[in-house]
Amino acid sequence: MRIVIGSEAGVDLKTLPGSVTNRRIIATHSALFGKPLADLTAFAQHQVVVTRITRNGLGFSLKPGFRLQFGDVLMVVGEAPQIDEVAIMVGNSSKALGTPQPLTFFLGIALGVLAVAILLFLPGLPAAVKLGLAGGPLVVAILLSRLTTTGPLIWHIPHTANHMIREIGISLFLAVVGSKIGREICLGAPRCRRPSLARLRCPDNHRPPAYHRLRWPRLKKVNYAELCGLLAGSMTNPPALAFAQQTTGSDAPAVAYATVYPLVMLLRVFTGQLVVFLFPRASTL
């Protein structure tokens, strides 16, 4: 940075006398949702500058066309009275931010279940394919989160509620999988022999992460935290994502996970149906 900008001034701007300060304000006013930040003239009129935006715990640098959503935390710089005026226009209501939206939550689930009945006719197939219970709610959730608001409805879940639901879902998932696998292991353990147990230690379970850790970042410029999220998303493995976040202490795995998980999940849903349609004899074996 010194090479590009210049040497340090040696002056701490925060200690200088003046009325300029910085503050965090929350976007909770419905009139702002979905609008580009550059189109909001209130900041320029009051000489208040937005330097950074935090959304669901993730920090974003401002880019052209960045659109505000409910619950965005704006870091603003300006004079205190001007910031107060802008805060009133933005909303800045912590109560509205923490209030859950149960109507939109269950309505989104209902729309996701209804999306299961949507038939997709692809050329060359004898029958239509469906999104399924895994793909329908996923597609609807992506679309609703993109809309942000629909009239008086706000498609937003508070960060704490979202985290709680996610942890409960992962716990229930592990409980169900563990119960099924544990029962099979207990029933099949007396019949297992030592060579068959040795084959379970497949080296491929350990090779891909180590291999991609060395090769993939060099080719795609992906750091290790993002690589963990990509691997977890490519396997649609929420426990692996939780472990990656705890290990790295970063939100980068979650961001990378979200970029590949929807595509991989839809591919899994469609691939099973395509195999049945294209290879009917093989699917019955």
Regarding whether 109 and 90 lie in a shared domain, the answer is no
Regarding whether 105 and 48 lie in a shared domain, the answer is no
Q: Regarding predicted confidence, which is higher, 25 or 239?
A: 25
Inform me whether the pLDDT recorded for 21 exceeds 50: yes
- Look at residues 114, 47, 115, 116 and name the one whose alpha carbon lies nearest to residue 79: 47
Regarding whether 139 and 251 lie in a shared domain, the answer is yes
Regarding whether 85 and 113 lie in a shared domain, the answer is no
Indicate which CATH number applies to the domain containing 28: 3.30.70.1450
Decide if 4 is inside a domain. Answer: no
Q: Structurally, how many domains does the chain consist of?
A: 2
Regarding whether 142 and 76 lie in a shared domain, the answer is no
Q: Across all residues in the chain, what is the average pLDDT?
A: 77
Q: What pLDDT score does 285 carry? A: 53
Regarding whether 147 and 73 lie in a shared domain, the answer is no
Domain with 110 in it: 101-283
Sheet holding 73-79, edge to edge: 20-26, 73-79, 49-55, 58-60
Decide if 222 is inside a domain. Answer: yes
Q: What pLDDT score does 251 carry? A: 77
The tokens describing 115, both together, are: 């999306």
Decide if 6 is inside a domain. Answer: no
pLDDT level of residue 201 (50, 70, 90 thresholds)? very low
Q: Which of 54, 81, 97 is the last residue of a domain?
A: 97
pTM above 0.75, yes or no: no
Regarding whether 185 and 53 lie in a shared domain, the answer is no
Give me the mean pLDDT over the 238-266 stretch: 83
Q: Hey, which of 33-42, 83-92, 158-167, 175-184 has the most confident mean pLDDT?
A: 83-92
